[in-house]
Amino acid sequence: MRIATYLQAGEQRLGALDGGDAVVDLNRAAAARARAAGRATAQAHADATVPADVLAFLALGEPALADARAALDHARSLDPASAAAQLLRAPLADVQLLPPVPQPPKIICVGRNYAEHAREAGRELSPIPIIFTRFAATLLPDGGALVRPTVSEQFDWEGELAIVIGRRGRHIAKEAAFDHIAGYSVFNDATIRDFQFRTTQYTAGKNFHASGPFGPALVTKDEVADPHALRITTHIDGELQQDGNTKDMLFDIPTIVAHLSEFVELEPGDVIPTGTPAGVGFKRTPPRFLQPGEVVRVEVEGVGVLTNPVVAEEALR
């Protein structure tokens, strides 16, 4: 499934992308399925098994995913007009996508996780994963505008595969890491380079307003055969800038999950961008940074395409 969070008539809902141009409301579809089975308390049953809130949904684990798949199948079995009348299915054009997890408990990013990127940045390879944090307030959905701030023109791109945690845990062994993962998404860890390198801490450069595109959906792990064999590309106005593959990560997903869980409890909904391959702008000659009016397109093979225009902060005032 491709799980999405979206706004419809001002209400935040949990859905599954369907057919590339529609979204199925998983909570309402679960209620409709329960009613069709003769359950008197259909909506209460749906709220308990397939909640409309993504964090509550992820916290229920595999049983909720199974119920959501059954709800999706039920919605697909209905006449399209009937599904629309019951608010089970809506065109994507009629809803507003949000980040698949709009308020993650934590966003823990991995830096310098590709050797070629570390080399282009003039940095040494680290013997352990390099970690920094993002704030949820920086997140943008697919289609949301990346905002180049007034205080800097050094606005750079970083296309990445993101992990979304589905099961709580600490001291997670590498061999158990995938048991704690709900799925994957696309992330653009857009960065203000001069603020990033003012000190040895990356926090400032990684947390500007509207600088963290994430989405369009959370792709459940059963749909990704090998997350260590995914091509990652970044285009700006159609021109290829990054072309890497997750097979080249220095620290693979089990290593990242095990390392993080040594010092923090991972929770359902935590987002872990796993690092960017070579091809960022700040080490080019001359440096290349994002300009207002450009469009950034990050694609992770089999996971999705994340597209965001760039605007100047001063144009929003």
pLDDT tens-digit series, residues 51-99? 999 999 999 999 999 999 999 999 999 999 999 999 999 999 999 999 9
Q: Within this chain, do residues 138 and 232 fall inside the same structural domain, yes or no?
A: yes
Nearest to 12 by CA among 83, 87, 102, 74: 102
Q: Within this chain, do residues 135 and 74 fall inside the same structural domain, yes or no?
A: no
Taking residues 28-45, what's their average pLDDT?
97
**pLDDT band for position 159 (cuts 50, 70, 90):** very high
pLDDT digits (tens, 9 = 90+) for 214-261: 999 999 999 999 999 999 999 999 999 999 999 999 999 999 999 999
Kindly state the DSSP code that residue 40 receives in the 8-state scheme: T
pLDDT digits (tens, 9 = 90+) for 185-209: 999 999 999 999 999 899 999 999 9
Q: Please answer whether residues 214 and 162 qualify as being in contact, where contact means their C-beta atoms are separated by less than 8 angstroms.
A: yes
**Residue 102 within any structural domain of the chain:** no
Three-state secondary structure call for residue 89 = strand
| Helical axes 42-49 vs 62-77, angle rounded to 10° | 130
Give the domain-ending residue among 97, 120, 152. 97
Looking at residue 117, which CATH number applies to its domain? 3.90.850.10
Q: Which two tokens stand for residue 202?
A: 């990356």
Residue 93's φ and ψ, nearest 5 degrees, are -65, -20
Q: Within this chain, do residues 60 and 123 fall inside the same structural domain, yes or no?
A: no
**Residue 231 within any structural domain of the chain:** yes
Q: Within this chain, do residues 173 and 267 fall inside the same structural domain, yes or no?
A: yes
Asked whether the bond before 63 is cis by omega within 30 degrees of 0, the reply is no
The confidence score (pLDDT) of residue 125 equals 85
Cα 161 to Cα 230: distance, rounded to the nearest angstrom: 9
The confidence score (pLDDT) of residue 293 equals 98
Nearest to 1 by CA among 221, 228, 306, 300: 221
Place of tokens 């989405």: 215
Q: Within this chain, do residues 23 and 111 fall inside the same structural domain, yes or no?
A: no
Give the domain-ending residue among 97, 118, 149. 97
Q: Within this chain, do residues 73 and 125 fall inside the same structural domain, yes or no?
A: no
- Average pLDDT along the chain: 96
The confidence score (pLDDT) of residue 317 equals 83
Place of tokens 């970690």: 131
**Residue 8 within any structural domain of the chain:** yes
Q: Within this chain, do residues 141 and 159 fall inside the same structural domain, yes or no?
A: yes
Containing structural domain, residue 234: 107-316
Q: Within this chain, do residues 85 and 120 fall inside the same structural domain, yes or no?
A: no
Cα 197 to Cα 170: distance, rounded to the nearest angstrom: 31
**Tally of domains within the chain:** 2
Q: Within this chain, do residues 89 and 205 fall inside the same structural domain, yes or no?
A: no
**Residue 292 within any structural domain of the chain:** yes
Q: Within this chain, do residues 119 and 141 fall inside the same structural domain, yes or no?
A: yes
Torsion (CA) 169, 202, 273, 4 in degrees, nearest 10: 100
Q: What sign for the dihedral angle of Cα 90, 93, 96, 99?
A: positive
Please tell me the pTM assigned to this model.
0.97
Q: Within this chain, do residues 159 and 113 fall inside the same structural domain, yes or no?
A: yes
Q: Within this chain, do residues 91 and 116 fall inside the same structural domain, yes or no?
A: no
Cα 201 to Cα 196: distance, rounded to the nearest angstrom: 7
Give the domain-ending residue among 97, 115, 140. 97
Nearest to 247 by CA among 291, 185, 300: 300
Q: Please answer whether residues 157 and 188 qualify as being in contact, where contact means their C-beta atoms are separated by less than 8 angstroms.
A: yes
The confidence score (pLDDT) of residue 135 equals 98
Does the structure show a pLDDT above 90 at 120? no
Cα 188 to Cα 162: distance, rounded to the nearest angstrom: 9
Looking at residue 35, which CATH number applies to its domain? 2.30.30.230
